[in-house]
């Protein structure tokens, strides 16, 4: 076994969840998914596909209908994106791994803004690349980018810059002006940008014309060294389906198809049919999901902010409240105690970067916002009993 695999850290979120095994009374907000099932018409499309006998492989890059539907969806939001730039993948995490495999050699330098979802740091390490973290700094609970520090860190020696904005776990988003400076800079250094934009539609501000967080697709050309990663998981309530996609410069799409052959060969066809149905009626899913998540955020955040010792800024995007709990600096130990002593399941900050010790992530995607109120009540009581 390769040493790098032996050295991979087990998920600290799983470690906390394991502490709650067998406890049906725990209110769990640790994982990054909601508790609402995929809409009926999407599930029906998959059932119809199976009934029709669509049990075979598809093209490596996905069904032409799905690639066209994705391209249309993106074109409506960001301006023209051609279907020949789309590669369908088996989930966002698979899309990311394929992007990394396509771009990285062992020993390459990868700059990455942290704190960040641990898969984004593990994947380059698995491929033998070297990480150069660019840390956000908390300012009154809001994780903030020092743009000049990022530009200084990305040099011609930097093969890939990974940006997850809107971010899991911090909710940090890039402004349009920051994106433009970063894109201009990476054009100079020859650095590839891998933009993980799976949360871009879960945006609660009203300062963009398309309602999404600023996207590199709004400003980049089809020939830029830019790979954008997307997923059906979050904006279409489809985490378990494992369906995502990549937006690529058209010149590399064909070769990425070869790489997909050696990973998964293709996403399953009935799942892709579900993806087509989801996109065709996206207007019936995503706006409702976003409105509901906004209600959840606006329920949870003020209640948490009112607790003594909590440092939290309202996130503009995503589905997480990432907060510091003063006096509880070992976040893994705190999260485990919260499960055992309060029946409350949160993710420890150190799962996302060691410097987020003392922070906790609360996924607020809850069908019933009252669960969030109940959860805060449990936290309040637990803090009071310390």
Ligand X SMILES: Cc1ncc(COP(=O)(O)O)c(C=O)c1O
Question: Which stretches of the chain bind ligand X, using CB under 6 A?
Answer: 32, 91-93, 117, 164, 168, 196, 198, 231, 233, 239, 244
Nearest residue to ligand X, scored by beta-carbon proximity: 92
In terms of CB distance, is 247 or 342 closer to ligand X? 247
CA-wise closest residue to 67 among 263, 257, 289: 257
DSSP 169-222: TT-----HHHHHHHHHHHHHHTPEEEEE-TTTT-B--S-STTSSPP-GGGT--T
- Rounded to a whole number of angstroms, the minimum distance from the CB of residue 213 to ligand X is 13
In terms of CB distance, is 138 or 166 closer to ligand X? 166
Are the C-beta atoms of residues 61 and 253 closer than 8 Å to each other? yes
- Rounded to a whole number of angstroms, the minimum distance from the CB of residue 230 to ligand X is 8
C-alpha–C-alpha distance, residues 10 and 305, integer Å: 31
- Rounded to a whole number of angstroms, the minimum distance from the CB of residue 51 to ligand X is 26
- Rounded to a whole number of angstroms, the minimum distance from the CB of residue 53 to ligand X is 27
In terms of CB distance, is 92 or 141 closer to ligand X? 92
Task: Name residue, tokens 């898969």.
Answer: 119
Q: Beta partners for 228?
A: 195, 247
CA-wise closest residue to 275 among 285, 289, 265: 285
DSSP 228-295: EEEESTTTTT-GGG--EEEE--HHHHHHHHHHHHHHTSS--HHHHHHHHHHHHTGGGTHHHHHHHHHH
- Rounded to a whole number of angstroms, the minimum distance from the CB of residue 307 to ligand X is 26
> The tokens of 290 are what?
């976003």
C-alpha–C-alpha distance, residues 376 and 103, integer Å: 43
- Rounded to a whole number of angstroms, the minimum distance from the CB of residue 363 to ligand X is 9
In terms of CB distance, is 164 or 268 closer to ligand X? 164
In terms of CB distance, is 28 or 303 closer to ligand X? 28
- Rounded to a whole number of angstroms, the minimum distance from the CB of residue 243 to ligand X is 7
- Rounded to a whole number of angstroms, the minimum distance from the CB of residue 34 to ligand X is 11
In terms of CB distance, is 95 or 379 closer to ligand X? 95
Torsion angle (degrees, nearest 10) of CA 102, 106, 108, 114: 80
CA-wise closest residue to 191 among 165, 217, 152: 152
Q: What's the Rg (C-alpha) of the chain? A: 21
In terms of CB distance, is 123 or 379 closer to ligand X? 123
In terms of CB distance, is 198 or 278 closer to ligand X? 198
| Beta-strand pair 137-139/142-144 | antiparallel
């Amino acid at each position: 076994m390769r040493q790098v695999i032996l050295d991979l850290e087990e998920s600290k979120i799983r470690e906390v969840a394991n502490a709650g095994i067998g406890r049906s009374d725990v209110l769990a907000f640790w994982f990054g998914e909601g508790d609402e099932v995929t809409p009926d018409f999407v599930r029906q499309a998959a059932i119809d596909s199976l009934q029709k006998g669509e049990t075979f492989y598809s093209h490596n890059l996905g069904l032409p209908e799905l690639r066209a539907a994705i391209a249309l969806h993106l074109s409506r939001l960001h301006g023209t994106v051609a279907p020949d730039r789309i590669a369908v993948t088996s989930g966002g995490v698979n899309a990311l791994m394929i992007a990394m495999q396509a771009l990285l050699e062992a020993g390459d330098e990868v700059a990455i803004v942290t704190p960040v979802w641990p898969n984004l740091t593990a994947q380059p390490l698995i491929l033998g690349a070297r990480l150069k973290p660019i840390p956000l700094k908390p300012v009154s609970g809001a994780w903030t980018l020092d743009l000049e520090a990022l530009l200084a860190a990305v040099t011609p020696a930097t093969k890939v810059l990974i940006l997850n904005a809107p971010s899991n776990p911090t909710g940090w988003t890039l402004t349009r002006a920051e994106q433009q400076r970063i894109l201009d800079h990476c054009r100079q250094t020859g650095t590839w940008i891998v933009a993980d934009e799976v949360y871009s539609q879960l945006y609660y501000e009203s300062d963009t014309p398309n309602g999404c967080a600023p996207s590199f697709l709004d400003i980049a050309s089809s020939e830029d060294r830019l790979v954008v990663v997307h997923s059906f998981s979050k904006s279409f309530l489809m985490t378990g389906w494992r369906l995502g996609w990549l937006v690529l410069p058209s010149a590399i799409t064909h070769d990425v198809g070869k790489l997909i052959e050696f990973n998964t060969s293709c996403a399953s066809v009935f799942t892709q049919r579900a993806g087509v149905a989801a996109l065709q009626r996206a207007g019936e899913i995503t706006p409702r999901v976003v409105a509901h998540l906004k209600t959840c955020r606006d329920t949870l955040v003020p209640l948490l902010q009112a607790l003594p010792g909590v440092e939290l800024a309202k996130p503009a995007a995503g589905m997480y409240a990432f907060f510091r709990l003063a006096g509880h600096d070992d976040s893994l130990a705190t999260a485990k105690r919260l499960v055992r002593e309060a029946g409350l399941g949160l993710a420890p900050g150190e799962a996302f970067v060691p410097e987020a010790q003392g922070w906790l992530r609360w996924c607020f995607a809850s069908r019933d916002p009252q669960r969030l109120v109940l959860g805060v009540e449990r936290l309040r009581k637990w803090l009071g009993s310390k």
